[in-house]
Each structure stands twice: as structure tokens, then as C-alpha cells.
Structure 1
Amino acid sequence: MRILTLAATLVVLALPVRAEIAVGEISAYLNGFRTAKAEFTQVNSDGSISTGELSLRRPGRARFDYDAPNKSLVIAGGGQVAIFDPVSNTPPEQYPLSQTPLSLILADQVNLGRSGMVVRHGGDATQTAITLQDPENPNYGSIQLVFTPAPITLRQWVITDDSGAQTTVILGDMQLDASIPVGRFNIPQEIQRRGL
């Protein structure tokens, strides 16, 4: 009987432990919601730390409202990213969303199976990290997403820009399919509201 128990234990130990969340499951998770909100902590490349609230609305929209003392605002909408400086009376710095790795997860349909998009993918039973880049424009940088399983949940991302600088965004509990007005992502409206 002890031999049978030992044999059964060895069979169980020999079964493969699921090492990571599959790429297809990650795509399905990202495509499974249109809007999301979460508190975030951002660690910048110079080591400085900011906190705030993130709002996402796919396709193509994101808003980072930074807490005091920073009080900055970053909006992605209308194909642009705008960085509003709270102490400046000048219009925001703007550049195309398509030139940022964040655009990969803000797409209408996220397809991580595209050739050349997944640069790295790995993990263990507790978390999975997947690094993505635009296959047509790898020089725009990359975004590493970190997920926990059961249920799959996005926990953080690390954006590496074209100069190699890294920005880490650690997410609190995400509220999926949250009610977020489209106007919150309207850059011209925010410029007008601020009188810039």
C-alpha cells in the first residue's frame, strides 16, 4: 500500500505545473473590457514616485490624473497624447499615441498573436510577464505587462521608451467596465477648459 501511495505521489509531482498565462488568454482578458479605472503608483526613471487615478476607455483613450503635489494630467484621446503641466500657462506637449507602446493595449481589438509583437513571455504559477512592441516600429519602445492568475488581472506595466528610460505603473484593484464619460478624454476640451 505504501508503494502505491508513493507511486501516486510521484505521478502527481511529475504533472506539469502551469507556468504562465497563455498569450491567447491575455488577449481575451484585454478584449473582455472596454473601460477600466484604478488607483496607480508610478515609479519614474529618475526614481521619483507619483500616485493618482487611471481611467481607460478602449479604443485609444487613457487618462492619468496625478495627485498633489504633482497635479499633472496626461490624456490619450483622438490619436494624440497630451501632457498638461499644472504650473504652466502654455498648451500641453502633444505627440501621436501610435508612437507610444501604450497604444498596443488601447487598440480596439488587442491581438497579441501578431507576428513580432510579443518580445518576451514567461512566468510562474503566481504571475506572468509579457513584453510587447509594435512589430512595424520596434524603435518606439516596449511595454511589459504583469498579470496574476485566477482570475487574470493586470497588476502593472513597465514602459521602456525609445531612449531606454523606464516608467513603471503599479495598479490597484481595477474596476472593469466602469462608467467613464467620453469627454474625460477630449484633449481640445481640456485645453479650452484651462484657457490655454
Structure 2
Amino acid sequence: MNSLIKITRKPSRIALAVLLALGAPMAVAIPEAPAFAQSSQQLDRAANALRSITTMRADFSQTDRNGATVNGKLTLKNPGKIRFEYAKGANMLVVSNGKSLYLVDYDVDQVERWPISKSPLGALLDPNRDVKQYGKVVATSNPDVVSIEVRDKARPEFGVITLIFVKDAASPGGLKLTHWVALDAQNNRTTVRLRNHKYGASVSDSAFTFNDPRRSSRRPG
């Protein structure tokens, strides 16, 4: 598992590193009074915003430490399902069917799998867990921006990730997740930005399946 959090030239491995960091179970950092009450409210809002998403589709752009950017489509369906599909040229896929997380590399016909229950990704996708328990609020100069930093001091190999929300009445819970920035244990930075959010559309569970390259060379449609 440790090797998967390292930034490599494989864009899907970068995505997996981001996903792992996003879901890592984090230690709570308690702000000092009097900021505690406000920070607690912001954590409540961020947690509620994530829980309130039934389905979401968005375009994403992912930029690594060298400035290289790849694009793709994100599809999320609660509980437990997510798909990062890259644009042509990055023959990769990261997908969760609600039970397991898969990293699919069509260039080498390889599939790697982890149970969500044993993956840090479970903190995002498991409805029985709560982002509020794992993060702390980072002050921003913009009152319409909520920044949540998550870090597991006991598991530094997961690195640090900062989730950025903006107030948006049209988004579930009144907050829109616009991007996140992940630092791995070697301080390599990966930024994922979301745009063109669409909520609540019907999404078939078949969106979270894939053609197994070990049996077929076709890329999923």
C-alpha cells in the first residue's frame, strides 16, 4: 500500500494517492477558543455537504508536482461508489463499486483491488464514518471559502490533504467542493480541481463496473 501513495508518471496512481489521502482517517485537531465554535460549525457544514450528495458528476483536472495536467470525468454515487475516468491518452481508471476500490491499468493489463473497509477511501465513501471526526478548519481570508485540512499523525505515509469548499446555495448542504490539494510523505503536491458539477441525476450502478483487461483489451465505454 505504501508504494501507491508515491507520485509517479502514471496519472491513475496520482489519482489513487489523492483518493487515499482524501479518505484517510484523521486525528482531530481541536482549535483554541473562541474559534472552536465557529470551526465546529464549519466542520459540520462540510461533513453535511458530503453526506448530502446523492449523485454527482463533474469534470476534473489533475496537476502533479511538475505542472503536468490530465483531465477526466468524475462520477460519484452514495453510498460508496466513485469513478475517475481519464481522457484519451491516459489509459487508466480508478473505480469503486461500493465494496472494493480498483486501480485498472489498461496499458499493462493489470488490476489492483482493495476492500473499501480496509482502505482509507472508506472515510469518504462509507456513510458510517464522518469527515468531521478527521479534520480541522484552516482559516481563510474569504468568508465564502471553507478549507478543511486532514492529516493522520499516526500514519504519515498518507500525507496531508486540504479540501476546499465554496458557499453555494445550489449545492447539497450549501457548499461546493471545488478542489483539493494533497501532499504525500515526500511533499509531492497533487491538485485536483472540479468544475461543471451536476447533482442528483440518475446514475446506473453499471457506471461503476469496468472491462477487466486481463480478459479483454477493450477500454470501458
Name the TM-score, length of structure 1 as normaliser.
Answer: 0.72
1:191 alignment partner, SS class = coil
CA distance in 1, matches of 2:201, 2:63: 25
Contact 2:63 2:69 survives alignment (8 Å): yes
Contact 1:101 1:143 survives alignment (8 Å): no
Q: Which residue of 2 aligns with 1:85?
A: 105
Q: Which residue of 1 aligns with 2:207?
A: 184
Count, aligned residues: 173
Contact 1:101 1:134 survives alignment (8 Å): no
- What amino acid maps onto 1:183 in structure 2? S
1:82 alignment partner, SS class = strand
CA distance in 1, matches of 2:77, 2:153: 23
Q: Which residue of 1 aligns with 2:163?
A: 145
1:159 partnered with 2:177: no
1:180 alignment partner, SS class = coil
- Percent identity of paired positions between Structure 1 and Structure 2: 25
CA distance in 2, matches of 1:163, 1:103: 23
- State the shift of 1:75 in Å: 1.0
**What does 1:90-169 correspond to in 2, within 5 Å?**
90-97=109-116, 102-109=121-128, 111-114=130-133, 117-123=134-140, 124-133=142-151, 137=155, 139-151=157-169, 152-169=175-192
CA distance in 2, matches of 1:104, 1:63: 16
What root-mean-square deviation, in Å, do the aligned CA atoms of Structure 1 and Structure 2 show?
3.0
- State the shift of 1:51 in Å: 0.5
Contact 2:106 2:213 survives alignment (8 Å): no
Q: Which residue of 2 aligns with 1:73?
A: 93
Contact 2:85 2:93 survives alignment (8 Å): yes
CA distance in 2, matches of 1:129, 1:194: 43
1:54 partnered with 2:74: yes
Instruction: Tell which has more relative contact order, 1 or 2 (C-alpha 8 A, sep 6+).
Output: 2
1:52 alignment partner, SS class = strand
Pick one of 197, 206, 215 that aligns with 1:174. Answer: 197
Quickly say closer, same or farther: Cα 1:103–1:166, change in 2 above 3 A: farther
- State the shift of 1:182 in Å: 1.2
Q: Which residue of 1 aligns with 2:26?
A: none
Contact 1:101 1:142 survives alignment (8 Å): no
- State the shift of 1:78 in Å: 4.5
Contact 2:82 2:96 survives alignment (8 Å): yes
- In structure 1, the gaps of 5 or more residues are 1-18
Quickly say closer, same or farther: Cα 1:48–1:98, change in 2 above 3 A: farther
- State the shift of 1:80 in Å: 3.2
- State the shift of 1:135 in Å: 7.6
CA distance in 1, matches of 2:120, 2:185: 10
| Bigger Cα Rg | 1
